[in-house]
Amino acid sequence: MQARGRTSPNPLVGAVVVKNGRPIGEGFHAAAGQPHAERAALEACTEEPGGATLYVSLEPCCHEGRTPPCTDAIVAAGIGRVVVASDDPTPKANGRGLGILRDEGVRVDVVDGEIAARARLVNQPFRKHALTGRPHVVFKVAATLDGKVATPTGDSKWISSEASRARAHRWRSEVDAVAVGIHTAMADDPLLTARVDAVAKQPARVVFDSEASLRADSQLVTSLDQAPVMVVCSRAAKRTAMAALESVGVDVIVATGENEPARLRSALDELAARGIQSLLLEGGPHLAGTFFDVDEIDEMRLFLAPVVAGGGAARPVLGGEGVEQIGQAHRALNVEYEQIDGDMLISARLKEW
């Protein structure tokens, strides 16, 4: 995935042009604002593409954005057949591109089965944002063998290995935003930037902070030149506190609703409206528990470290209300396992879009 972390708010798309059974051109959407995969593949063709078949992982666009419609390029190139792996669920597409191609005499085939499922999985943030108006949320956490994320004093550095932490930094580089609660922001004073090579764009940093109490001298606020910071507060926050954050460049979002779950949904709507399609949730337990309670976790990535903390007062992976019966528990659709320098990374997909 050479373009992961570079195309938002556009999807990840690849395309191949095949003529007489041979590939004559291929391309992918490298970054937002650059040519789409179909145009890149057509421009890379080693011979005239007239009558060829274009294989593309997502329905070709038919609208004018920062780049012209791909349907125009396909028709102009004389492509005879287009094979599409997945639909584009956005209102400005959603089958329109396929209809235009058919009207122009291009044969269109839409695949199904495993290939279609894999193509949809590539663009889960894009799809969820289009279908629900909210960001795709990945909950990342490091825990001990007995399910603790911190000791009773709040100490958590470091549960996971250096290699695991490096992987988490790579994930930061691939999302639109990273989120924590105010208790994590206060206790750890994190930067929440992606500290890896070749970062196309640093993620926005989001702090869920009902009272707008984030300190002006925190690393988040003093590093606004590296990436934006958004503070999500409630209507109970003091205007002076909100104004102080806004005066130094923090984007303050006032979430509405009669309780914490309602305010969280409101916050996600506001974040999506600001262009956040993908959100890496890094804690803490209370905030993560609320996300689970309102069913807004799409994927969970758990680093399980070979250490045992013990103690009934040690902090668990999740807070919140939880479920009353195991039969009501969230059940993963798919689980993958990977060993990383002594840690076990468990990736669980809870939803598909």
Q: Which residues are catalytic?
A: 38
The Cα-based distances of 237 to 207, 209, 210, 231, 242 in angstroms read 14, 9, 6, 11, 7
Rounded distance between C-alpha atoms, residue 249 and residue 194, angstroms: 20
Rounded distance between C-alpha atoms, residue 94 and residue 227, angstroms: 33
The Cα-based distances of 176 to 10, 181, 238 in angstroms read 12, 17, 28
Contact 290, 266 (CB under 8 A): no
What are the backbone dihedrals phi and psi of residue 125, each rounded to the nearest 5 degrees, phi first?
A: -60, -45
Task: Encode 305-333: b = buried (16+ Cβ within 10 Å), e = exposed.
Answer: beeebeeeebbebbbbeeeeeeeeeeeee
- For 350, the token pair is 């809870």
What are the backbone dihedrals phi and psi of residue 315, each rounded to the nearest 5 degrees, phi first?
A: -85, 130
The Cα-based distances of 344 to 20, 156, 298 in angstroms read 47, 17, 20
The Cα-based distances of 220 to 154, 229, 250, 283 in angstroms read 20, 7, 9, 16
